[in-house]
Amino acid sequence: MNLNSAKKITKAIVEIDHPLFDFRSKEAKINVKWVHMYLKHYVTKKVCQMLDVGCGTGKQSFAMEELGAAVTGIDCSREAIKYANNIKKNIKSDCNFIIGDYTDMPFNKNTFDIAIFPKNIIECSYGEVEKISKEIKKVLKIKGLFVLTMEDGIEKIKREKGYNALKKYQTRTGKFNENIILPNGKKYYYPIYFWTIAYAKYIFSKNFIIERDRKIDSNLHMLVFKKK
Ligand SMILES: C[S@@+](CC[C@H](N)C(=O)[O-])C[C@H]1O[C@@H](n2cnc3c(N)ncnc32)[C@H](O)[C@@H]1O
């Protein structure tokens, strides 16, 4: 999704103030359980530098900090980062939240041991993901790990019986011209893209070696890659 659309939609979503956005809530804690269950054993160093790419309001970042990591989160939305910083202050966290574009990240080469990209890929065009893949490779240290969580597009269509959504599908770009209606009744253009596990593996394998591919709940897959 282009940067301005992403900023606009995230601002509107954050303003709903759903408990899921707030790391302190029960809903958010359940949502980030996967971090404790599946990332703990990757945090092996005394100082493990982790990056949360497209961190939103920071729930995954705070969960990674609980594993003992030094965490940085980046998101293009000023409102999401402000929300994350308010929680940070309240829970006395040391996470570092930065407003920035994940297709052009403001970090030095070889900075992070692990980068995560949770549930964001659906909003990204194929060209954007090529850029993100190069950016993440650049900021990871040698043998650094990249963890992606995502749904598989075919599984999603089958599960949601979303055959109507296919009417909004653009064959040439892989884009669904979706809109979302928020609880306040406002409607926003929300383009999403058709991604399968196999295609994501193929694209990221240009810069990474696939280490692990597992289903972590009924909808979500986790792919773990090592920097080439
Ligand atoms: C689907 S939300 C997921 C947020 C978070 N990862 C989570 O699991 O709660 C996608 C996030 O990516 C951010 N985003 C979209 N495009 C971006 C860009 N080009 N650079 C940085 N962040 C971006 C949005 O602002 C939003 O917070």
Instruction: Give the residue extent of every domain in the chain.
Output: 3-152+196-227
Backbone angles phi, psi at 135, to 5 degrees: -65, -45
What pLDDT score was predicted for residue 184? Answer: 86
* Superfamily of 3-152+196-227 according to CATH: Vaccinia Virus protein VP39 (3.40.50.150)
Positions of the chain with pLDDT under 70: none
- Ligand 1: distance of its center to the CA of 92 in Å? 23
What pLDDT score was predicted for residue 154? Answer: 94
What pLDDT score was predicted for residue 167? Answer: 86
What pLDDT score was predicted for residue 214? Answer: 96
How many CB atoms are located within 10 Å of the residue 94 CB?
Answer: 8
Q: Pocket around ligand 1: residues whose beta carbon is below 6 Å from it? A: 1, 3, 6, 10, 54-56, 59-60, 75-77, 80, 101-103, 118-120, 123
What pLDDT score was predicted for residue 183? Answer: 87
Nearest residue (CA) to ligand 1, atom 14: 54
Helix/strand/coil (H/E/C) assignment for every residue in 78-131 = HHHHHHHHHHHHHHCCCCEEEECCCCCCCCCCCCEEEEEEECCHHHCCHHHHHH
What are the tokens at 171?
């064959």
Nearest Cα neighbor of 98 from 147, 141, 61, 45 is 61
Q: Encode pLDDT of 25-83 as tens digits.
A: 999 999 999 999 999 999 988 889 999 999 999 999 999 999 999 999 999 999 999 99
What pLDDT score was predicted for residue 58? Answer: 98
What pLDDT score was predicted for residue 44? Answer: 87
What pLDDT score was predicted for residue 163? Answer: 74
- Ligand 1: distance of its center to the CA of 170 in Å? 23
Nearest residue (CA) to ligand 1, atom 19: 101
Nearest residue (CA) to ligand 1, atom 2: 120
Q: Choose which residue among 123, 178, 180 to substitute to test ligand 1 binding: the one with the highest number of ligand atoms within 8 A of its C-beta.
A: 123
Q: Choose which residue among 21, 29, 57, 120 to substitute to test ligand 1 binding: the one with the highest number of ligand atoms within 8 A of its C-beta.
A: 120
What pLDDT score was predicted for residue 87? Answer: 98
End-to-end Cα separation, the chain, in angstroms: 27
Nearest residue (CA) to ligand 1, atom 4: 56
Q: What distance in Å separates the CA atoms of residue 157 and residue 217, rounded to the nearest whole number?
A: 17
Q: Choose which residue among 20, 75, 95 to substitute to test ligand 1 binding: the one with the highest number of ligand atoms within 8 A of its C-beta.
A: 75
What pLDDT score was predicted for residue 136? Answer: 98
